[in-house]
A and B are shown apart, each in its own frame.
Chain A
Amino acid sequence: MLDSKIPSGPLQDKWTKHQLKLRLVNPSNKRKYQVIVVGTGLAGSSAAASLAELGYQVKVFCLQDSPRRAHSIAAQGGINAAKNYPNDGDSVERLFHDTVKGGDFRAREANVYRLAEVSNCIIDQCVAQGVPFAREYSGYLENRSFGGAQVSRTFYARGQTGQQLLLGAYGALMKEVARGNITLYPRSEMLDLVLVEGEAKGILIRNLLTGKLESHAADAVVLATGGYSTVFYLSTNAKACNVTAIWRAYKKGAYFANPCFTQIHPTCIPLHGDYQSKLTLMSESLRNDARVWVPQKAGDKRPPSQISENERDYFLERKYPNFGNLVPRDIASRSTKEQCDQGRGVGESGLAVYLDFSEALQRLGRDIVQDRYGNLFDMYAKIMGADPYQEPMMIYPAPHYTMGGLWVDYNLMSNVPGLFVIGEANFSDHGANRLGASALMQGLADGYFILPYTLGDYLAGCKPVDKNLTQYPIFKEAEIKETQKIQRLLAVNGKQTVDDFYKRLGKMLWDKCGMLRTEKNLKEALDEIPAIREEFWRDVKVPGSGDDLNQSLEKAGRVADYLEFAELIVKDALHRRESCGGHFRGEFQTPEGEAKRDDENFCYVAAWEFKGVGSEPFLHKEPLAFEEVKLAQRNYK
């Protein structure tokens, strides 16, 4: 049975009361415990630093050459908090409310409430670290708005909020490295989770420079390995993002929750060629001042300047007068797709809509627009070779974030004791759709203010592990298995490159399990995935050897995992016979084309248990109860 361990009592008191109940580890005993943290994004860095400050011995692993380069660095727009500095009616309650509703009622109330509760401490902490948030002339912090909210609660540092927050957390991490409480293992890839008597007590990693496999034991393992949007091949995520760490943990018994809840971001730079390696996000913050439109007439190929006001359709403003251009992402993305499908898309491919600043440029002047969005405008200009100060940007939706992830309880522990999962890698707080500026908030809430308490409670109940644990056969077996797998990948020596398979898988998944999902398409995908996987293992070509830096081999391993994982996403999407948030099933929509939930049958978290590659995974259901926010059809009109 899945026990979410949500504390009893009124929502507002749950976390406070729970903290009091959590057991503590005596200060002098803390250093006897070893904790592994995999990942150095906002979640991993903040957790590792905080745990080390408490006195635990921490080992930290990441793929990049430096922890500062984790994908969190790329977050642009901002981070939410319920400070209510603008005095526009915000509160913990409202942030909680917006997040539950934004997630289309598929997240746990208790988790979301806690998230909103600790949000303010995050801003305090980051300011104290020297994060240079935007300020007003008065010296006070400035806020902006993001989608799905009618208050301004987003703090930001130009278009580089993620960078600045991560550099803050990275600084905290390096401070503990200098003090000897953290040992850093960059350019390391976790390939397996090792269980001892059913509890997570170590990991197997590959040193990406030498190719050597290394075992590391610990009293608890924390996965902060980010999201899996790159399963679609093209996404806004960094190239190294992957599902490998959590997938391998899944194969060791951790449940995977809501894998089909993936977020497609409405404002990304459109596709331009088959060699394209990634899609670039244009931050949601742009929708504060830009207006989205298409020509009213299908097939109108005139340049935007020649299309007069009354020939334009500002479709978001028209359809959702209350939220206008600031509707949540899933709604904006779907509306965009709808316009393009009806032939009103612009650009060469017809797969784009305009994001137009001309009104804002007139109202605010170029300087203010540049101040707010300058780096995004520059990025757009570099990629597209066009000047967005002169002509509207062109945008199209792209895979961006994954709400699904490993299942965790209220303590952020998976069903495998000792395995904690934080940040984008877990499933916990965003339901079926994440609101903008909430991922940074969640990653840092998990790492700074939740995990350090809940992990202590787990450790308080265990004795420190044997120092020679890595010599146990269980670790050796993992090493042998992984060595064989790597040898197998290198030995296929077929004709197609890893990217050949990766692009094929990604495109197929995007077409059949992207913004619009139907039973027919999903079933086709379920036929195709095993076929591609089989072909991969028969015909992939991985050059080089396993004994040094081999980026093709790294990618091959990750793509091999995606070829298994994709099946789970599709199965989850097929089983969920309703539309909610980013999961849109064509068969289930309201007459106006909005997502139609089925609360009677699907108001639960789907947590899947591994039963073998190609075998049916077992579905565990965690029912969701909404006591505070009334279940209702979302309405942004």
Chain B
Amino acid sequence: MNKITLTLKVWRQKNAKSHGRFEVYKLTDIDTAMSFLEMLDVVNENLTREGKEPVAFDHDCREGICGMCGAVVNGQAHGPLRATTLCQLHLRHFKNNQTIVIEPWRSKGFPVVKDLVVDRSAFDKIIASGGYVSVRTGSAPDAHAVLIKKDDAEKAMDAAACIGCGACVAACPNASAMLFVGAKVSHLVLLPQGQPESEARVLNMVKTMDAQGFGNCSNEYECEAACPKEISVKNIARLNHEFRKAQIAK
């Protein structure tokens, strides 16, 4: 069992209106097999015993799929490991005596709720504006009525793998949500289902995205680098393409 000592600088902020500040917590001799969130659990247990308020942070599945967790760790969304959510990051990727700075997602589109918890409801609004196929329950044809090329299905799946965590926005200098939107538009446009709605979909989703205060893409590719599901920036190109096509058709 490997043990290390870490210094954590954690962002503490009581609520959206108050000013935040960093607080420093020291952890000695902790097991490197521990996950990052388990480390925060330890911090919180200590704080509770000292009669202080624990650090609020979102998490649920702890296996990298629900998209609930996330924080900026030493300047990187979800921390230093590629293709990894914060909950799947383990302490074996840190060095003994390292200082780790932990902050919430910072973006106009995601106001801070408390400590590391942010409000990502803007993503739900974007999906509500068109991120689906409008098929009513019961009206579907047989699953084999429409064939789909394996390659298309795979590409659609690559895009559909998005977990909606918001790391793309947090990593982007413009706080753009183009990767998130591009992933959903790509997932659906690559499949034959829902084609009749595809133009309205892309126009409405982009409109909502803009209205929610997300910035524009200036090809920094930080989103792809931070994405725990390695969603490709090609989806942004596809989004732009579909958007222009839809505008012309309008």
A174 adjacent to B128 (CB under 8 Å): yes
How many chain A residues have a CB neighbour from B under 8 Å?
Answer: 81
Interface of B is mostly: loop
Given A65-B58, A132-B153, A132-B160: A85 touches B15 (CB 8 Å cut-off): no
- B163 interfacial by beta-carbon distance below 8 Å: yes
A385 adjacent to B92 (CB under 8 Å): yes
B143 adjacent to A127 (CB under 8 Å): yes
A49 adjacent to B153 (CB under 8 Å): no
Interface residues of A in 30-82 (CB under 8 A from B): 46, 49-50, 53, 64-69, 71, 73-74
Q: How far is the CA of A369 from the CA of B44 in the complex (A)?
A: 40
Q: How far is the CA of A175 from the CA of B138 in the complex (A)?
A: 16
A74 adjacent to B133 (CB under 8 Å): no
A157: chain B residues at CB < 8 Å are 157, 160
Given A65-B121, A69-B68, A541-B48: A272 touches B33 (CB 8 Å cut-off): yes
A73 adjacent to B66 (CB under 8 Å): yes
- A238 interfacial by beta-carbon distance below 8 Å: yes
Query: Residue B163 contacts which of A163, A495, A499 (CB distance < 8 angstroms)?
Result: A163
Query: Residue B191 contacts which of A71, A132, A541, A543 (CB distance < 8 angstroms)?
Result: A132
Given A135-B150, A172-B137: A549 touches B113 (CB 8 Å cut-off): yes
Given A132-B160, A160-B161: A277 touches B60 (CB 8 Å cut-off): no
Q: Which of B4-12, B49-57, B238-246 contacts A (4 or more CB under 8 A)?
A: B49-57
- B249 interfacial by beta-carbon distance below 8 Å: no
Query: Residue B137 contacts which of A130, A163, A452, A544 (CB distance < 8 angstroms)?
Result: A452
Query: Residue A65 contacts which of B62, B68, B128, B187 (CB distance < 8 angstroms)?
Result: B68
B128 adjacent to A178 (CB under 8 Å): yes
Q: How far is the CA of A219 from the CA of B117 in the complex (A)?
A: 35
Q: How far is the CA of A171 from the CA of B123 in the complex (A)?
A: 12
Q: How far is the CA of A452 from the CA of B146 in the complex (A)?
A: 27
Q: How far is the CA of A67 from the CA of B125 in the complex (A)?
A: 12
B63 adjacent to A74 (CB under 8 Å): yes
- B212 interfacial by beta-carbon distance below 8 Å: no
- B218 interfacial by beta-carbon distance below 8 Å: no
Chain B residues touching A, range: 35 or more
A452: chain B residues at CB < 8 Å are 137
Closest to A496 in B: B49
B53 adjacent to A544 (CB under 8 Å): yes
Interface residues of B in 111-154 (CB under 8 A from A): 113-114, 117, 119-121, 123-124, 127-129, 131-144, 146-150, 153-154
Q: Which of A136-144, A431-439, A459-467 contacts B (4 or more CB under 8 A)?
A: A136-144
- A508 interfacial by beta-carbon distance below 8 Å: no
Given A163-B163, A541-B49: A280 touches B63 (CB 8 Å cut-off): yes
Given A139-B147, A163-B163, A171-B132: A71 touches B61 (CB 8 Å cut-off): yes
B132 adjacent to A175 (CB under 8 Å): yes
* 6 tightest Cβ-Cβ pairs between the two chains A and B: A171-B132, A139-B147, A128-B140, A132-B157, A124-B140, A50-B137
16 additional contacts (CB under 8 A) given A65-B58, A74-B66, A552-B44: A66-B67, A66-B120, A69-B68, A130-B193, A132-B153, A137-B150, A160-B161, A167-B160, A174-B132, A209-B113, A275-B41, A378-B83, A379-B88, A382-B89, A382-B90, A544-B53
Residues of B within 8 A of A (CB): 14-15, 31, 33-35, 37-38, 41-42, 44-45, 47-49, 51-54, 56, 58-68, 81, 83-84, 88-90, 92, 113-114, 117, 119-121, 123-124, 127-129, 131-144, 146-150, 153-154, 156-157, 160-161, 163-164, 187-188, 191, 193-194
A–B Cβ pairs within 8 angstroms, 28 of them: A49-B137, A53-B136, A65-B119, A65-B120, A66-B124, A68-B67, A69-B164, A71-B66, A74-B63, A74-B66, A85-B144, A125-B135, A128-B193, A129-B132, A132-B157, A136-B150, A160-B65, A174-B131, A186-B124, A238-B66, A275-B38, A275-B42, A278-B63, A379-B64, A543-B48, A543-B51, A543-B53, A543-B54
